[in-house]
Amino acid sequence: MARMANAAPAQKVVATTVASAVATILIWALNTYVLEPNMPDYIMGAILTICTALAGYLTPPASRDRIVP
């Protein structure tokens, strides 16, 4: 199994985690303060999935993100 060169999480992993958290907070804020009625669950899931995928795709790997054989 491949291993990372160091124990720090990869830059892409950090970016997708933060994007998911931010999207969750934004959806909560929309449902709490803006939308009547609340956004359906399947739309919330789609928004979270798209935000996470875009963050992972658009974030370049850091120079420290190397796999050692």
| Angle made by CA atoms 19, 13, 48, in degrees to the nearest 5 | 30
| Residue 35 maps to a domain | yes
Which residues lie below 8 Å from residue 52, measured CB to CB, with a gap of 6+? 16, 19, 20, 23
| Residue 68 maps to a domain | no
| Residue 23 maps to a domain | yes
| pTM more than 0.75 | yes
pLDDT in tens, 12-35: 999 999 999 999 999 999 999 998
The span from the CA of 63 to the CA of 22, in Å, is 25
Residue 48: its pLDDT value, please? 95
| Residue 1 maps to a domain | no
| Residue 2 maps to a domain | no
| Amino acid (1-letter code) at residue 54 | L
Containing structural domain, residue 45: 8-61
Residue 1 has pLDDT above 70, yes or no: no
